[in-house]
Structure 1
């Protein structure tokens, strides 16, 4: 079990633990509206490549790339990420295919 001391994020505390073999599976998403996936380039828990793959599996899927650290990008006081995600969630506004924050 991985634990982190106060002030140390889980991303850093668990970075060097073995993760075992991953066995990703395809998503069956026929008929769903466009989905926005936010991928973080420095995510120790979910590799960015998996975010790219997930976005590609949704018809009309969109990938917002956050060039930073951490397992999540939304809700971490990044105005670029928050404005794009909010615009999608509130107004269903699509993002550019190469959108990066």
Structure 2
């Protein structure tokens, strides 16, 4: 699953600020929330975060750009194939992605 900023040049009143987003993840095990630099990276420093899920489980993700960009993108892939990707633009844009594992 990935979250990234779009249109980083869209905030001329706030030049040179890093793109940040508030991300909420919901899985069968509960909910996680935090603010992260965009693009969202795992602990190893590469883009994207991996969750292991069982058949029938649903993964939901909501993200809001909080600074440094004029839009946000979310993407969920299952077994390497993108199953949902959404983008929202504007100051403090919010985006959601939901997918289930077959």
Q: TM-score, normalised by structure 1?
A: 0.30
Q: Larger % of strand: which? A: 2
Would you tell me which structure has more helix in proportion to its own residues?
1
For CA contacts below 8 A with separation 6 or more, give which structure has more relative contact order: 2
TM-score when normalising by structure 2: 0.30
Q: Tell me which structure has the larger Cα radius of gyration.
A: 1
